[in-house]
Amino acid sequence: MAEASTGGTDDGDRSVELGGYQQELKRTLGSFQVFAISFAFISVAVGIFATYDEVLVTAGPVGIWLWVIAAVGQTLVALVVAQLAARIPLSGSSYQWASRLASPKVGWGFGWLTFCYLAIGVVAVDNALASQAFMPLVGIEPDEGTARLITLAVLLVQTVIAVASTRIVSLINTAAVGLELALVVVVAIALVIAVAITGDGAAGNLTSRGVTEHAPDYFAVGGGLMLAMIMGLATLVGFDSAANLAEEAKDPYRTVPRAIVGSVVAAGILGMLFLITLTLAIDDIPRISADGSPVAAIMRDHLGPAMERTLLVAITFAFFGAGIVVMVSCARLVFAMSRDSRFPAHRLMRRVNPRTRTPIPATILIFVLGVVLMVVLPGAALLELITASTILPAITYGSTIVLYLAVRKRLDRRKGAFDLGRFELPVAICALVWTLIALFVLVAPREALVSVVIVVGLLLVGGVFFLGMLKFDRAALESEPGDVGAFRH
C-alpha cells in the first residue's frame, strides 16, 4: 500500500472504513484527553499508594530504585506498542493487530488475554478504591463486606457514566490526571521543604534495607529484593488503553502513539521523584514499614492530618478515574471482538446506542462481571485473582512484541505517523528481553503459584470457547473484514 499522509479525523475515519467497519463511535478525544486515558490507567499515585508498603517490608526503602529498571523496560515495550498503534488505529488494539497481521485465530487469543486482564482490573481498582482510600477517608473501620458494597456502588456509577458519554469519561479523566499531577508535584516539594526545616528524615534511607536488614534469601530468586520490582510492573501497565479507544480519538495516527509512550515516560519520571521524596521523609523506618498505609503516614507526620485527608481525596478521585478507564477500555475490546462475531452473545455486544454513540451492552457486561466477582468469590480467592491479573499484561505485551518482530517488514509506513525508523529492531529486541525478565519476576516467587494456576485456568476457559467457535462458527475465524492489505505494504 502506498504511503498516505495523516490528516486528522477524516483520515481516522478512513482507517475504520478500510478495516471493514462503519464509524459508529464518536471522535471526541483530543491529544491531551487521549494521553489522560493512558496516564489515568497507569495512575502513579494510585500504584505507589497501593504497593509502597510491600516494598518496605520485602526489600526495604532501597527497593524503590528498582522502579527505574521497570520504567525503562516498560518504556521499551510502549515504543513497540506505539509502532503498531500508529499503523492500525482500530478499537481492540492488540486483538486487531494480531488478527490482521497474523491471523484471526491468533488475534482471538490476544483479545481473550486482554479481556481477562481488563475485566479483572476493573474490580481490582474499584475494590482498592473502597478499602484503601474511601473508607479511611470517611472514617469507616476496615471491613471486607463494607468494602464490597462500596465497590458495587462505584461500579454502578462508573457504568452509568460510561454508557452516557465518552466525552464525560474523558473530562473526568482529564480532571483526575490534572489533580494527580499536581498532587505528586506539590507533595514532593512540600515533603522536601518539611524535611529540610525539621530534619526529620535522612538521605541514608535511600540505601537502607530497613526492616529487611537481616532477612534470609534477600538476594535470592523470588526473594525480597526481586519482589520490590513488582511495584513498577503492577503500576506501569495499561498504557495501551489509548489504543483501545483509537476510533474515538482525533488524528489517531499521531495522538494515540504519543499518548502511549508519553504516559509511560511521564509516569516513570514522576513516580521516581515521588518515591525519592517519600523515602527521604521517613523518620522511623520500622514504624512506617509496619503502617498499613505508609504514604498517608508520612504525609501525616510531616504535613499534618489535613494534608493526609487531601491526599486521600485525590487518591480516591484518581482510583475512580483509573477504574472508569479500565471499564471503558474493556467495553471497547468486547465491542471490537463482537462486531467480528468472535465474542459470546456478539449480536448483542456489538450494538452501539445511536444517541450516546457508546456500546451500552458491552459496558453493562463489564458491570455484571464485576458484580459476580464481588458477590461470589471469597476474600482469599478474590485477592489471588487480582494478583493473577498482573501476570496477564506481561504475557500480552510479550506476545505483541513477538508479533511485531514477525511482521514489521510488512507494516505500512505512513508519512508523519509515529515511527522508530532504524531503531525499531534493537528497541523491539530489548523490549522482548525485558518482558521475559518481567514475566519471570512475576511468576518466580512461591506465593505466585496460585496466581499462575488461575491464569492457566482463564486460558483454558478461553480455549473451550475457542474450540466451540471452531466447531460451530468456524467462518468467523477464517477471514477479516475490510481490505486485507490495507495496513500492509
Q: pTM, whole model, 2 decimals?
A: 0.90
Q: Of 137-146, 149-158, 322-331, where does mean pLDDT reach its minimum?
A: 137-146
User: Residues 264, 35: contact at Cβ < 8 Å?
Assistant: no
Q: Is the pLDDT of residue 153 over 70?
A: yes
Give the C-alpha separation, 206 to 203, whole Å.
6
The C-alpha cell that represents 321 in the structure block: 478515574
Average pLDDT for 196-207: 90
Identify the weakest region by mean pLDDT among 50-64, 79-93, 173-187, 380-394: 380-394
**pLDDT surpasses 70 at 9:** no
Lowest mean pLDDT among 15-19, 36-40, 358-362: 15-19
Give me the mean pLDDT over the 398-426 stretch.
Answer: 86
Angle (deg, nearest 10), helices 66-85 and 424-443: 130
Quick check: 488 pLDDT over 70? no
Half-sphere exposure of 255 (CA within 13 A, CB side): 28
Looking at residue 460, its pLDDT comes to 92
Q: How confident is the model at residue 292 (pLDDT cuts 50, 70, 90)?
A: confident
Residue 285 confidence (pLDDT)? 95
φ, ψ at 29 (rounded to 5°): -95, 120
Confidence of residue 2 (pLDDT cuts 50, 70, 90): very low
Mean pLDDT throughout 137-159?
92
The pLDDT, as a whole number, for residue 43 is 86
Mean pLDDT lowest for which of 16-30, 325-339, 394-408, 419-433?
A: 16-30
Amino acid symbol at 143: D
Say what the pLDDT of residue 7 is: 47
